[in-house]
Amino acid sequence: MAPKGTAAQTPGFAASLRSFLAYIRIECGLAPASIAAYGRDLDDLVGDLVSRGVHSPGAVEAAHLAEHVRYLSRVRALDSVSIVRHVSTVRVYFRFLHARREIPENPARLMERPTKWRRLPGTISPAQMRKLVEAPCADHGALFVRDRAILELMYAAGLRASEVASVRLNQWFPVIGSMSVVGKGSKQRIVPVGAHAAQAMARWIETQRGELVAGNEIQADHRLFVSNRGKPLERVAIWMIVKKYAAVAGLHDVHPHTLRHCFATDLLRGGCDLRTVQEFLGHSSVVTTQIYTHVDKTRLREVVSKFHPRFDH
């Protein structure tokens, strides 16, 4: 993985990178997280190109880009989803440069956009999830109250790490047990929050949060979750918290999205309809949500057996 800022610090690419990032930020209106993802992909691209002796966009050929994709697959061993995103970034970047006539030809014009494979989401059992969310205690740091509230909320509402990090205090409505969340594409949704998560957040807000913020809500940016210095908690910190308590609970290969997957999986297992789960997750299309229907084949058979007149009767 190329160091952050590789593209910006490479003379031949720096100017085009600034123009491109300004374009996707101002004209396309992409969210900060999406812009950061584009930046990381371009850092990887430029780092690989420079290692091959290519020092400017005008010198890039289709063969170089093909080699870059092979590098991502064979050397970096990235999964298909990450490679698809990389390819999409490369295509948009060079199409932008060609449209502005900064390069005579678009070397990415023949790059095929591979089909985005839908991987089955990783989940853990309800018993394992309980171990995870109940793992934070005084033995694991002074901010265990905050960490418990974060884990409970992620599982209770199916939030992404970025959504947890960005949610503000006034987006939580304890009286009705609901939260307003701004997700991908700046889409807003309302999600219900269960009693366990509500109690954990009340404990965090009424005790530790006030002490850490110390009345300086400007520094805290009014975020619901803050660091030990009273500053907004970043998405990376959410990842670290989840990984920390997964290790404490003796769980492997658990990350923030695992809690989101389990939220959706357990709702469907409990009988919730797919359309409602789509709304809770903030998916723009129910097709994205359908991947969770794999989760409980036994339940699917039971449903068919119950409602179909000539199935196992």
Active-site residue flag, 155: no
Tokens of 266: 């357990």
Give the pTM: 0.66
For residues 131 and 306, the model is more confident at 131
- Is 35 a member of any domain? yes
Q: With 60 as the cut, is the pLDDT of residue 281 above it?
A: yes
Known catalytic membership, residue 283: yes
| Average confidence score pLDDT of the chain | 87
Residue 118 has pLDDT above 80, yes or no: no
Confidence of residue 305 (pLDDT cuts 50, 70, 90): low
Catalytic residue among 160, 209, 223, 261: 160
SS (H, E, C) 108-122: CCCCCCCCCCCCCCC
Residues 289 and 182 in one domain: yes
Confidence (pLDDT) at 32: 84
Q: Does the annotation count 131 as an active-site position?
A: no
Token pair of 204 as six digits: 């965090």
Alpha-carbon span 230 to 219, nearest angstrom:
7
Domain that holds residue 59: 11-99
Pair (28, 147) in one structural domain: no
Q: Identify whether the C-beta of residue 175 lies closer than 8 Å to the C-beta of residue 127.
A: no
Residues found in the chain: 313
What pLDDT shows up at residue 246?
Answer: 95
Do 245 and 186 lie in one domain? The reply is yes
- Under the banding of pLDDT at 50, 70 and 90, the label for residue 307 is low
Supply the pLDDT for residue 119: 56
Which one from 184, 203, 222, 269 is the annotated catalytic residue? 184
Q: Name the range with the highest mean pLDDT among 20-34, 87-101, 117-131.
A: 87-101
pLDDT of residue 39: 93
111 lies in some domain: no
Domain identity same for 207 and 77:
no
Q: Looking at the structure, do residues 27 and 157 belong to the same domain, yes or no?
A: no
Q: Is 231 a residue of the active site?
A: no
Give the C-alpha separation, 195 to 177, whole Å.
Answer: 8
For the sheet with 188-192, list strands across it.
172-173, 178-182, 188-192
Residue 4 near residue 43, CB atoms below 8 Å: yes
pLDDT digits (tens, 9 = 90+) for 8-61: 889 999 999 999 999 998 888 888 888 988 999 999 999 999 999 999 999 999
115 in a domain, yes or no? no
Which one of 40, 148, 260, 261 is the catalytic residue? 260
Residues 84 and 211 in one domain: no
Q: What is the 3-state secondary structure (H, E, C) of the chain?
A: CCCCCCCCCCHHHHHHHHHHHHHHHHHCCCCHHHHHHHHHHHHHHHHHHHHCCCCCHHHCCHHHHHHHHHHHHHHCCCCHHHHHHHHHHHHHHHHHHHHCCCCCCCCCCCCCCCCCCCCCCCCCCHHHHHHHHCCCCHHHCCCHHHHHHHHHHHHHHCCCHHHHHHCEHHHEECCCCEEEEECHHHCEEEEECCHHHHHHHHHHHHHHHHHHHCCCHHHHCCECCECCCCCECCHHHHHHHHHHHHHHCCCCCCCHHHHHHHHHHHHHHCCCCHHHHHHHHCCCCHHHHHHHHHCCHHHHHHHHHHHCCCCCC
Residue 296 has pLDDT above 70, yes or no: no
In this predicted model, what pLDDT tens digit does every residue of 202-214 receive, in sequence order?
Answer: 999 999 999 999 8
136/54 same-domain check? no
Residue 29 lies inside a defined structural domain of this protein: yes
* Neighbour count for residue 177 (Cβ, 10 Å): 15
Task: Assess if residue 110 is contained within a domain.
Answer: no
Rounded CA gap, 264 and 66, in Å?
A: 37
Same domain, 145 and 20: no
Q: Could you tell me if 132 and 241 are in contact, meaning their C-beta atoms sit under 8 angstroms apart?
A: no
What's the pLDDT at 310? 60
Same domain, 155 and 55: no
Question: Which residue, among 35, 30, 63, has the nearest Cα to 49 in the 3D structure?
Answer: 63
Is 106 inside a domain boundary? no
Clarify whether residues 185 and 291 are in a common domain.
yes
CB 259 within 8 A of CB 242: yes
CATH number for position 181: 1.10.443.10
Closest CA to 240 of 171, 121, 141: 141
Which of 48, 80, 99 lies at the terminal end of a domain, its last residue? Answer: 99
From 99, 117, 136, the end of a domain falls on 99
Residue 31 lies in a domain: yes
CATH number at residue 80: 1.10.150
The CA angle 238-244-250, to the nearest 5 degrees, is 135
User: Residues 138, 92: one domain?
Assistant: no
Q: How many domains does the chain have?
A: 2
187 noted as active-site residue: no
Out of 3-12, 29-38, 95-104, 177-186, the most confident range is: 95-104
Final residue of a structural domain among 99, 134, 158: 99
For residue 117, being part of any structural domain is answered with: no
pLDDT number for residue 55: 94
- 71 a catalytic residue: no
Same-domain status, 155 and 254: yes
